[in-house]
């Protein structure tokens, strides 16, 4: 059917954009999230090892590092674009067709944008940038 091929030839730029965020968020979370949860969420609170966030001075010192700030921003922001995409299709799979609609997209990806903005604000206001 010819009218279908002309339609599919249009490059799906927006699709590419969201897919890029989805794939990289999922990849970054896959590489670093388990170890971060294990160390900061389990071993640290149990006292098995000393972890930076157990004391104010070490935590604020690490949080002031610009590389750490960029890392945390990339991790949290990209991961939430991944989560937004996954959760939307999770709802579709559960039988909620409304999750396909434009308002649902605005809510889910908008949520990731909000989390990104809040993360930037927290990272910039919590610890002053220091290279020490």
Partner 1 sequence: MTEGDEAAASTGTAPRVYKPEMPRGWWLRRRHYFLYMVREFTAVPMAAWLLWLLVEIQRAANGPKGYYPAASPAFIVFSIICLGFATYHSVTFLSLAGVIIHLRFMGKPVPPRAIVATMFGLWLVASVVIAAVLIGFAR
Query: Which residues form the interface with partner 1 (CB under 8 A)?
Result: 26-27, 29-42, 44-46, 49-63, 68, 72, 75-76, 79-80, 82-83, 86-87, 89-90, 93-95, 115, 118-119, 122-123, 125-127
Closest distance between partner 1 and the C-beta of residue 99, in Å?
12
- Choice between 36 and 101, CB closer to partner 1: 36
CA dihedral 87, 90, 94, 98 (to 10 degrees): 60
Backbone phi, psi, residue 128, to 5°: -65, 145
Report how far residue 116's alpha carbon sits from residue 73's, in angstroms, rounded to the nearest whole number: 7
Closest alpha carbon to 24 in 89, 83, 68, 69: 83
- Choice between 8 and 125, CB closer to partner 1: 125
Closest distance between partner 1 and the C-beta of residue 11, in Å?
19
- Choice between 12 and 42, CB closer to partner 1: 42
């Amino acid at each position: 059917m010819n009218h279908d091929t002309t339609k599919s030839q249009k490059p799906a730029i927006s699709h590419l954009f969201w897919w890029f965020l989805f794939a990289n968020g999922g990849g970054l979370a896959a590489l670093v999230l388990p170890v971060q949860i294990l160390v900061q969420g389990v071993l640290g609170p149990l006292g098995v090892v000393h972890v930076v966030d157990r004391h104010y001075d070490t935590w604020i010192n690490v949080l002031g590092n610009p590389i750490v700030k960029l890392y945390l921003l990339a991790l949290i922001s990209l991961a939430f674009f991944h989560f937004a995409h996954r959760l939307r299709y999770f709802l579709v799979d559960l039988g909620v067709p409304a999750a396909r609609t434009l308002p649902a997209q605005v809510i889910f990806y908008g949520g990731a944008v909000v989390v990104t903005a809040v993360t930037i604000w927290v990272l910039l206001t919590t610890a002053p940038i220091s290279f020490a």
